[in-house]
Chain A
Amino acid sequence: MDGMRVKSCLSLAALAQGREITTIEGLAQGEELHPLQAAFIERDAFQCGYCTPGQIMSGVACISEGHAGSPQEIREWMSGNLCRCGAYDHIVAAIQDAASASGSVRGG
């Protein structure tokens, strides 16, 4: 919401009136996937897919906030997104790929 990651389940729609909202459906540019969506496919970063929209939305924010500098940092800043299938290693790898592609990795 307004460019920040928030939890939809803890937000009242009526209080979001007039604010800009991006969901997973709005990430792709037409037929072209968002780089992190593509990285999730490339890295096989999901199993059942239940958590995937949340992981990707949170991952996009994690990268743009500059919190994707190392696997450890990604784990801490993605800790609010649980994956019952335990696809964590692949999720971290996908975020790392997308972060280095976008050049936002801090400290190399």
Chain B
Amino acid sequence: MHPFILERPRDMPAALALRAQAGRNDAPAEYIAGGTDMMQLLQEDVRRPDRLVSLAGLLDNSIEIGPHGLRLGAAATMAEVAAHQGVVEQFSLISQALLNSASPQVRNQATMGGNLLQRTRCPYFRDIGYEACNKRAPGSGCAAMDGENRWHAVLGTSDACIAVHPSDLAVALVALDAAIEIRGADGQRTTPLADLHRLPGGTPHLETVLEPGEVITAITVPANAAGLRSHYLKVRDRASFEFAVVSAAVAIETDGSRIRQARVALGGVAAKPWRLPSVERALTGTSLDPSELRAAAVLAADGARGRGHNDFKIELMQRAIVRAVETAGGRA
């Protein structure tokens, strides 16, 4: 592990100043929150900051539900949010996604902000024994392209990188139109969570739209996402304590046996949570009949491209959507 200095700034402006000078991700100074992703990457020498700037005690950890919807402080832990009664009752999709993530120990430590900014689980990114990884070492190539790419992306990929973003939480939140509050040295701004992560293009090392030093301070979910019938379906290689091969977050409002509105997002298929407006439109007004659902789910494959081992994901994600809508609607 590269030696580092641990900074415990007294307040947020001090933290922002320490980090802001350092540049974009994989910079000489990095924030650490719960540490569950950062520590692994430090131990594997994938990340080598000279300074770690601790956010402990500097960020809000409250969970509030009011007329404007849900607000999650960035320091709230996965365990706290998953168990919060209002979240369970009104924003069940979020709680389901969290309880299907990681393990109880990790959920006790890991924060909302860190979860959204966790790095890909691409095994080549996480193992410095492989030289080729455009995300870790820009311009070095991509070992996954012709390697073991069973876990990799089929949507929004580029020839430079086919990594997926591993967060379950982010998929549920994007389906619910969540936004994030961001604070930087120059003040605050808000952006839709769907715009936080970038697609790889030719620069897979640039993962988010955050400016150097900016912190996520909170996540908000609008009130109109409350009370929908929802299901988070996570398909994985073992029953628990595993990342998604494919996941589908679905929230619907039904009118008798017809779908009045639908929100659908996929995980495990792209470098960001993948919202599917075309599928949502096709689902609107249909019944819960599997053949009708299937006709809508097919649209998810628009533009999908496998790289060999991960070809099966294109079919799997469509089936996952059908199953998740059926379950949300009470049919499966």
Q: What residues of chain B lie closer than 8 Å to A75, measured between beta carbons?
A: 240
- Please report the total number of B residues contacting A with Cβ < 8 Å: 21
Q: What residues of chain B lie closer than 8 Å to A87, measured between beta carbons?
A: none
The answer to whether the Cβ of A46 comes within 8 Å of any Cβ in the partner chain is no
Chain B nearest CB from A44 CB (Å) reads: 24
- A79 near B106: Cβ-Cβ < 8 Å: no
Stretch of B34-42, B206-214, B295-303 that contacts chain A = B34-42
Chain A nearest CB from B159 CB (Å) reads: 34
Choose among A15, A58, A62, A80 the residue that contacts B35 (Cβ–Cβ < 8 A): A15
Given contacts A75-B240, A76-B240, A80-B241, contact A11 B35 (CB under 8 A): yes
Choose among B43, B54, B56, B103 the residue that contacts A80 (Cβ–Cβ < 8 A): B103
The answer to whether the Cβ of B109 comes within 8 Å of any Cβ in the partner chain is yes
How distant is the Cα of A49 from the Cα of B108 in the complex, in angstroms? Answer: 25
- A5 near B240: Cβ-Cβ < 8 Å: no
Q: In chain A, what residue has the closest Cβ to B56? A: A15
Given contacts A5-B104, A58-B104, A80-B103, contact A11 B109 (CB under 8 A): yes
A-B contact count (CB 8 A): 55
Q: What residues of chain A lie closer than 8 Å to B102, measured between beta carbons?
A: 80
- B104 near A77: Cβ-Cβ < 8 Å: yes
How distant is the Cα of A95 from the Cα of B257 in the complex, in angstroms? Answer: 44
B-side binding surface: helix, strand, loop or mixed?
A: mixed
The answer to whether the Cβ of B137 comes within 8 Å of any Cβ in the partner chain is no
How distant is the Cα of A80 from the Cα of B242 in the complex, in angstroms? Answer: 9
The answer to whether the Cβ of B291 comes within 8 Å of any Cβ in the partner chain is no
Q: What residues of chain A lie closer than 8 Å to B241, measured between beta carbons?
A: 79-80, 82
Given contacts A6-B109, A80-B241, contact A11 B39 (CB under 8 A): yes
- A14 near B6: Cβ-Cβ < 8 Å: yes
Given contacts A61-B104, A79-B103, A80-B106, contact A7 B36 (CB under 8 A): yes
- A79 near B240: Cβ-Cβ < 8 Å: yes
Query: Which 5 A-B pairs rank lowest in CB-CB distance, beginning with the nearest?
Result: A80-B103, A79-B240, A79-B241, A10-B39, A4-B108
Q: Which residues of A contact B (CB under 8 A)?
A: 4-7, 9-12, 14-15, 58, 61-62, 65, 67, 75-77, 79-82
